[in-house]
Amino acid sequence: MTILDAPPTGTAAATARATPAAPVKTQRLVDLFEYGLDSPICLTWELTYACNLSCVHCLSSSGRRDPRELSTAECKAVIDELERMQVFYVNIGGGEPTVRSDFWELVDYATAHKVGVKFSTNGVKITPEVARKLAASDYVDVQISLDGATAEVNDYVRGPGSYATAMRAMQNMKDAGFTGFKISVVCTRQNIGQLDEFKAIADEYGAQLRLTRLRPSGRGADVWDELHPLPEQQRELYDWLVANGENVLTGDSFFHLSAYGSALPGLNLCGAGRVVCLIDPVGDVYACPFAIHDEFLAGNVRSEGGFQEVWRNSELFTRLRTPQSGGACTSCSFFDSCKGGCMAAKFFTGLPLDGPDPECVRGFGEEALQKRKMDGSIPKPEGDHSHRTERAPRRGVPVTLSLTRPAHPPVSACEENPLAGFTPGD
Amino acid sequence: MTAPDSTAPDLDSAWDLHPQVSVRPEPFGALLYHFGTRKLSFLKDRALLAAVQSLTTAPSVRAAFESAGIGAADVPRYQSALGTLAASSMVIERKQ
């Protein structure tokens, strides 16, 4: 998943460079970033669609491995390219990336080539031994997914046993002395009330809390109506972030909430195709991790010119780097910080990309959603890799019938005789 | 010292880029990433980038600024910028 966790701090020696007679307005970092960078600041790389879990809100509809996924050699070639492009680090996810048999080999290869790694995991492979190895590296960071501060809330979304798996992994990390690993929480209607408990868990394990937004992407589209926070919960989340935000990461997820008041820390910019992107397990490059759909597909790392060509010259990314129209939002006084919210959230709820976010805090998204529901036509996320968990078709249960009387009457549970069913001499 | 803030390095001291910092030039200046602190920073100015890049080979901050073509009038400002980088451990003093 996302994206830009450490808001960059600018060092501008030249703010007063212009002569006093003609002061030049200092350009904000975010304005520079809107035109894109020579290389992404970081990118999300989903190494596999294989996963031991089947979280109901999975962004990439993961479950089964795609047989076309990049080979070890192809992954290493991508890492070589990222090194040449000086991509500082990659956010590796999936699926569950650690189930790839070459996962640790690829992590070692990346860090040896000065590409830092932060990987997201449900914790299934974080044994005490693995945790000790991870703790020894400066170039690896770990993010453990937890979507409920209690097993009840977490397992409702992530599946039975997933809370215990995550907690065991966190204990192993703590025991190994890995401080500052991340606990990554997707904020839902069911867990917004647990923010303080999440923080307490993070403190207990010496970890850092990371809160991100639920997106209607992948299987998330199916559960968004049920799981996305209610308007009053959004306010609760915003107030909590304002009060606790200093040490809590958000991957710049919540800039649509800035219309409640002051902007939250972070770039407050949709980085899709400008400062971030996604490489999926088969090498497809999308504008962002939440937009796995042909509409946001820029190219493939296997094509000529590789990832660099896609990043620098693809038609889609070039278009995303031109100034965007705010459409209906332009006249809103909060447009400068909210920027109309999240492109993927709009797309997968069927809203126009130049209109309000479905969770617009002023309620404009709500209105637009009502209209959309009248006329239907919502784009479906593409590429379903879910486990095939449908029940087998019901068939009759075979029953053996005998046409003759049994030799002994059946022994009922109420039979009081201690010798019932016992036939001497058998 | 004319340094505008207390963390600004002495012009006669020698400095290095932190060994865990990676510098990537961009059209507007450069991006810096510190693998130890996992902090991102950016330089909004090519001259500052040139100065930072020449720290390692320069005997002093003053010499690094000179080789980056920074004029005397601009030195305090760049010295302050270097102080900002020092505060986040992007650059560190090289003990002679």
pLDDT in tens, A273-296: 998 999 999 999 999 999 999 999
Please indicate, yes or no, if residue B74 is contained in any of the structural domains.
yes
Min Cα distance B55 → chain A (Å) is: 16
pLDDT of A251: 84
pLDDT of A146: 98
Please indicate, yes or no, if residue B3 is contained in any of the structural domains.
no
Taking CB atoms and an 8 Å limit, are B24 and A86 in contact across chains?
yes
| Mean pLDDT, rounded, of chain B | 89
Asked if A176 and A134 count as a contact pair (C-beta separation under 8 A), the reply is: yes
Residue of chain B with shortest Cα separation from A32: B28
pLDDT of A390: 58
On the CB side of A262, CA atoms within 13 Å amount to: 8
ipTM, 2 dp = 0.83
* A19 band by pLDDT with thresholds 50, 70 and 90: very low
Count up the domains in chain B and report the number: 1
Asked if A338 and A357 count as a contact pair (C-beta separation under 8 A), the reply is: yes
Residue of chain A with shortest Cα separation from B71: A17
Please indicate, yes or no, if residue B64 is contained in any of the structural domains.
yes
User: Is the model's pLDDT at A3 over the cut of 70?
Assistant: no
Min Cα distance A212 → chain B (Å) is: 19
pLDDT of A410: 66
| DSSP SS3 for B15 | strand
Taking CB atoms and an 8 Å limit, are A139 and B74 in contact across chains?
no
pLDDT of A409: 65
pLDDT of A417: 77
pLDDT in tens, A182-200: 999 999 999 999 999 999 9
Please indicate, yes or no, if residue B86 is contained in any of the structural domains.
yes
Please indicate, yes or no, if residue B81 is contained in any of the structural domains.
yes
pTM: 0.84
At how many degrees (to 10) do helices B75-87 and B46-54 cross? 70
pLDDT of A419: 79
Range of the domain at B64: 15-90
Please indicate, yes or no, if residue B10 is contained in any of the structural domains.
no
Q: What is the CATH number of the domain that holds B51?
A: 3.90.930
pLDDT of A414: 75
SS3 readout for chain A: CCCCCCCCEEECCCCCCCCCCCCCCCCCHHHHHCCCCCCCCEEEEEEECECCCCCCCCCCCCECCCCCCCCHHHHHHHHHHHHHCCCCEEEEEECCHHHCCCHHHHHHHHHHCCCEEEEEECCCCCCHHHHHHHHCCCCEEEEEECCCCCHHHHHHHHCCCHHHHHHHHHHHHHHCCCCCCEEEEEECCCCHHHHHHHHHHHHHCCCEEEEEECCCCCCHHHHHHHHCCCHHHHHHHHHHHHHHHHHCECCCCCHHHHHHCCCCCCCCCCCECCCECEECCCCEEECCCCCCCHHHEEEECCCCCHHHHHHHHCHHHHHHCCCCCCHHHCCCCCHHHHCCCCHHHHHHCCCCCCCCCCCCCCCHHHHHHHHHHHHCCCCCCCCCCCCCCCCCCCCCCCCCCCCCCCCCCCCCCCCCCCCCCCCCCC
Please indicate, yes or no, if residue B2 is contained in any of the structural domains.
no
* B18, B32, B34, B38: best to mutate for the A interface, most A CBs within 10 A: B38
Taking CB atoms and an 8 Å limit, are B45 and A139 in contact across chains?
no
